[in-house]
Amino acid sequence: MTDADPFDAVDVIISKRDKAELSDAQIDWVVDAYTRGVVAHEQMAALAMAILLNGMTRRETSRWTAAMIASGDRMDFSGLSRPTADKHSTGGVGDKITLPLAPLVAACGVAVPQLSGRGLGHTGGTLDKLESIPGWRADLSYDEMLGQLESVGAVICAAGASLAPADKLLYALRDVTGTVESIPLIASSVMSKKIAEGTGALVLDVKVGSGAFMKDLASAQELARTMVELGTDAGVSTVALVTDMGTPLGQAVGNAVEVQESVEVLAGGGPADVVELTLALAREMLAAVGRPDVDPADRLADGSAMDVWRAMISAQGGDVDAPLPEAREQHVVVAPGSGTLTRLDALSVGVAAWRLGAGRARKEDPVQAGAGVVLHAKPGDQVRAGQPLMTLLSDDSTRFARAEEALEGAYDFSPQADASTQPLVLDRIT
């Protein structure tokens, strides 16, 4: 602390520890002082734990978000000739929806600036998936982004270091201090980046279930409500769908295999759940920018979404016609019994894909482009004993045993033919 600093970090921590509401001035100061290195990591860790335990009011969360936005640059897409809409998912297993969604919504006349991240742990990262396309480049300058949004309509790229730097520091700290699972901290972390990115409309896909941050519906609904309030307070038209992540999305979990599945959706095929969620989110994005009359299903059917995909990948150096990398080794897991598959646990499949090399344990680790899991049956499907249930893919066959361990107890069968399955979209919050 310097003479110019109006507060003492210890007083701010004690206020929150004792369940007081932090003032706007305290919040502005503590976020800024942490970014400047004046508040120490151990002090911010204590404050994050006090927030996790005692919560924040709507006013505090909104101010905390504004302070994180103010720590960096804001982008401005208001000069583009089309409206902008963005989607954010809280992350899940097999969640490749951004890949078909961004070109699809762009094909409907909306600009889609999609700043994405790399994966950590069992949920995959959009950039890791796209980097399996030979030549594709994630890092674009602001001018390149703007140019591509105007010419192609969609861009998926890495968020630059200047976007909400306070969040980058705080998220890394929360990751190692057991303070990730705080609804006000997750909501402000996500929304500070989305608001700073300058999108006109935002559709949130809040996942619930074993493969998601939020394991129960009530917590997912609360997170969705908190994020929608933050967006609305900041003047961004925001809506959230709460969607099931108890089982993986689609049949492919990994990097290149998820790109392949996304291309199938853009070609008019692909798994029913991926198509359903892509269209549901596209319709929300179009409604949010005042174009509810455009039907995105037509743009999948007429090939225009595929045209935008090809232009978007090529604009970032990717060779759309090059074969995607394939894993050197594969191992088939067969069904141990016969009946209807009633459960296929998302977290277990996500951990298996991660152990096969599709994900990373530390930020600096490389990922294998070809690694992952391809599912041959989904809940509701009939299977016979000995039939292939999934194929494990890796460049390194010694990884199969640990992946199979992750899959122990991951699925159930029932002799009844009509086992019911959960709907994909569980709630809509505005």
Interacting residues with ligand URA (CB under 6 A)? 171, 180, 185-186, 189-190
Give alpha helix (H) positions in 71-216: 98-107, 126-130, 142-151, 165-175, 183-196
CB of 323 to ligand URA, least distance (A): 33
Catalytic residue among 174, 207, 225, 299: 174
- What is the largest distance, in Å, between two alpha-carbon atoms of the chain? 74
DSSP 356: I
Nearest-angstrom CA–CA distance, 150 and 240 = 27
Q: What angle do CA 176, 182, 188 make, to 5 degrees?
A: 100
The CA-atom distances, in angstroms, between 310 and each of 20, 76, 138, 334, 351 are 53, 26, 16, 36, 31
Structure tokens at 406: 């992750």
CA distance 380 to 412: 11
**Nearest-CB residue to ligand URA?**
189
Give Rg (Cα) of the chain. Answer: 22
d(CA 353, CA 362): 15
The residue length of the chain stands at 430
Residue type at 398 in one-letter notation:
T
Please identify, using beta-carbon distances, which residue of 180 and 425 lies nearer to ligand URA: 180
State which residue, 80 or 180, has the beta carbon closest to ligand URA. 180
Task: State the DSSP code for 84.
Answer: B
Strand ordering across the sheet containing 372-375? 252-254, 372-375, 388-394, 329-334
* Active-site residue, 32 included: no
- One of 86, 167, 233, 345 is an active-site residue; which one? 167
Q: How far is the CB of 71 from ligand URA (least distance, A)?
A: 15
CA-CA distance, 339 to 275, in Å (whole number)?
26
Q: CB 180 → ligand URA: shortest distance, Å?
A: 6
Q: How many CA atoms lie within 13 A of 332 on its CB side?
A: 9
| Shorter beta-carbon distance to ligand URA: residue 38 or 180 | 180
Q: Residue 186 or residue 201: which is nearer to ligand URA going by CB?
A: 186
Annotated active-site residue 193? The verdict is yes
Using the minimum distance from each CB to ligand URA, give the nearer residue, 11 or 175: 175
Residue listed under structure tokens 């519906």: 217
Closer CB to ligand URA, residue 148 or residue 189? 189
Distance CA 291, CA 30 (A): 41
Asked if 376 is an active-site residue, the reply is no
Q: Which helix (H) or strand (E) holds 342?
A: strand 339-344
Q: Among 62, 189, 192, 262, which one carries the catalytic annotation?
A: 189
Cβ 193 to ligand URA shortest distance, Å: 6
| Smallest separation (angstroms) from ligand URA to the CB of 302 | 35
Closest to 89 (Cα-Cα) out of 245, 219, 289: 245
Catalytic residue among 193, 283, 291, 299: 193
Give the nearest distance from C-beta 233 to ligand URA in angstroms. 18
Whether 88 is catalytic is yes
Which residues are catalytically annotated? Answer: 88, 167, 174, 189, 193
